Copies of this chain bind each other. A is one copy, B any other.
Amino acid sequence: MRGAVLHAPGDVRFEERDDPRISAPTDAIIRVSASCVCGSDLWDYRGINDGDDVDGPRPMGHEYCGIVEEVGDEVTTIKPGQFVIGSFFASDNTCPNCQAGFHTACQNVEYVGAGGAQAEALRVPLADGTLVATPEVPDDAMLPDLLAASDVLGTGWFAAVAAGVGPGSTVAVVGDGAVGLLGVLSARQLGAERIIAMSRHESRQRLAREFGATDIVTERGDDGVAQVKDLTGGVGVDAALECVGTNEAMTQALRCVRPGGGVGFVGVPHGVSLDGVRLFYSMVRVHGGPAPVRHYLPALIDLIWQRRVNPGKVFDLELPLAQVAEGYRAMDERRAIKAFLRP
């Protein structure tokens, strides 16, 4: 089969790779119906992944949906022929951490992306725990929405939950990538009344409004914080979603929130550090991490299946998988929010 391999920063190639095989009795092999490029793939692509830069060929991609082709002997609920979606981390869905809703801390966690989901086929470990099947094989038109549930929608959703968004909340969203935009959608679904999207890009602002943003703030830093304070009677928002991963974004999020409010952070941190004294006197609650997407998958698939949300709108570039390299380039240059890849 063929798939995307990163050889060095900036050098992603579509090439022949070994077919994935069942290597544990709890594995499944899926034929990938759609995959995509993640904002976090760009850290590798740009070669700015502190201490973890690519130093050899690495299969890429960790967002996927597709048809089950084969399952291992111990897989009981997932069956060949089903259309399934999974998260970037495999999880058993039974350990105490999974039971608590934190599947990304599963005691048997495994990185699905190690196999590289930007490919024609993929091995998914712990298939029964990791994969969720749709009621039927979906129309092609629904693929972008369902694929979004594999990572970016669940990540935006977790950001909103971790920030404490609920009915009537005022919310600020820092970051206008796919996760930030779907953070807006998630906050809306969770009942937020006012959602301030912080974005300087017109097309992203439009999508933010479509997803439920009530206000747009284009300023950053001190001016951005001042704008958010102005919009909230000088108090700050109840909740801020940090969807970038830089120290600037985290600081911005923290400063926008009222005392007692929360920051949900889902951007993989690069150079982020929180000063104890500042955090103490801000009284802001902080919660984040690799989103336990699996926990939210059944509910998110249901929302999509009922056509109540269209998270797939974050894909503003569709390419054949063979042109994956162009997907990376377009996102790196911010010509595209997110590239959808069809094998």
Contact = CB atoms under 8 A, between A and B. Distances in A.
A46 interface: no
Nearest to A103: B259
Contacts of A274: 273-274, 276, 279
Interface string A280-311: 11111111111010000000000000000000
A271 B260 contact: no
Interface stretch (A56-64, A68-76, A93-101, A179-187): A93-101
Interface in A51-97: 96-97
Contacts of A260: 97, 100-102, 105, 292
A287 B288 CA distance: 12
A258 B106 CA distance: 11
Contacts of A48: none
A47 interface: no
Given A233-B96, A258-B97, A260-B102, A276 B285 contact: no
Given A97-B259, A269-B276, A283 B104 contact: yes
Contacts of A289: 259, 279-283
Contacts of A107: 234
A235 interface: yes
B281 A276 contact: no
Contact of A258 (B96, B269, B290): B96
Interface of A: 96-97, 100-102, 104-105, 107, 162, 233-235, 247, 250, 258-260, 262, 265, 268-269, 271-277, 279-290, 292
5 contacts: A97-B258, A97-B259, A272-B276, A286-B286, A286-B287
Given A97-B260, A273-B273, 10 more contacts: A96-B233, A97-B258, A100-B260, A105-B258, A105-B283, A260-B292, A265-B276, A274-B276, A283-B288, A283-B290
